[in-house]
Structure 1
């Protein structure tokens, strides 16, 4: 493990890492930043490809992060930096004193499907979600509910947006997440896997969420915060499901709706096995 001290905002490494705060920089470098002791620890312990860890020279490295660093094999660049440098690489108002540079890994959807072909599974498909907090909460909830994988459709907020990562509370490092065009993926699920696709929708022929059939190989689709699931995706559905509104609200938050549906799906699936 290599250690060094950086105090200049003009340092080439600092300039390069600063670019990772923007989507363009993340896509060009195929890397992203994680900030905060908990998330850095999660990244290190998950087996994610952590390349660099930077910590505030005026603080000690968080003990849990230090233990995770010591467990790592292979080259890991450890850098002490000034508070000013750390501030340039973080988005929160009160940085926790540690940041990690991590290689993006969106996984191989084809390989995942091969490994899951012989069993039933529950997938969550996310269609053009725009709010990073919503996406992060959806991923955190999906992991808690035991969803097997999440697929993020084109046109959604960047999976590696800092707010998304912080809202996942580490779920991003434990849950299989793929980025893939949803129409193509749905057609593959239906034709090759004989999976069913339930779309969250208020269409007249939709079932209340507690009446739907959640058995077998199943994918649930959650749509955009404003307009819901796109028509291109909705027309491919095997069925529609909605969450009744008993109060005066016109709609539910997308992350809340996703949570209700995936937990009901798991409740139903587990009940049917008894």
Structure 2
């Protein structure tokens, strides 16, 4: 665990890490930045490949984080940095005094599906159709992990999974929950071929209330774009169209709130079926 100090924003390492604040840089390097002691600690605990940590030399490092770092199996470059350097690498108004570089985890969808089929696991999927708000996506992932969703699939048009606001909103769920980026129609077709059911959230004349839906043992729930809803291609593939009743005067629910209601209802029904 090498120790060194950086005070200049012109340092080559700082320049390279600064590129990770943009999607283009993240995709080119296959890495992303996380900020804050909690997120860095969660990344280490979850076994994510943390390669570099920069911390405020004047504040020192959080004690719990330092202990977790000491238990980490991989070599991590630890860098004491100035306020100016940390501000250069921060997206928040009040930098938290620590940032870390993490390698993106490349999971194979095909392997995951094969493993689930072999073990009989993987009974609840969440498919996201053009979710574009970073806060919504991060909150959905955090909620999905809490509800015991087996995996989340991001369709074309979704906000970048490694966007800083998304990562912060997950509160660490990103490091534990399998998340894939795949064409949703292909995923839906494969899921149905393997005996799964597809429930699509939409306000449609044929849709039924979410609590009346049939959550079979293998269920995939589709949540659509914040403004346009679910694409026609996914509606056409649905085994059941479902909605959440609106009892007040609001026109609709926030996408993250709707996703939470659906996945908890699905989990409840699945548990009742198995009990």
TM-score (norm 2): 0.97
- Deviation (angstroms), 1:115: 1.2
| Aligned structure 1 segments of 4 or more residues deviating by more than 6 angstroms | none
Aligned residue runs from structure 1 range 25-174, under 5 A? 25-117=25-117, 118-119=119-120, 121-174=123-176
- Deviation (angstroms), 1:267: 1.1
Distance (whole Å) between structure 2 residues aligned to residue 31 and residue 218 of structure 1:
32
Taking only aligned residues, the RMSD between alpha carbons, in angstroms, comes to 0.9
- Deviation (angstroms), 1:119: 1.8
- Deviation (angstroms), 1:174: 1.1
- 8 Å Cα contact 1:106-1:177 kept in structure 2: no
- Deviation (angstroms), 1:64: 1.4
Deviations 1:208-260 (A, max 9, x none): 00100112111000000001011122211111110010111000000000000
Q: How many residues align?
A: 273
- Deviation (angstroms), 1:106: 3.8
Distance (whole Å) between structure 2 residues aligned to residue 67 and residue 215 of structure 1:
44
- Deviation (angstroms), 1:272: 2.1
**2:247 matched to which residue of 1?**
246
**1:2 matched to which residue of 2?**
2
- Deviation (angstroms), 1:74: 3.2
Distance (whole Å) between structure 2 residues aligned to residue 11 and residue 64 of structure 1:
29
Unaligned runs of 5+ in 2: none
| Residue range with higher mean Cα deviation, 99-108 or 247-256 | 99-108
TM-score (norm 1): 0.98
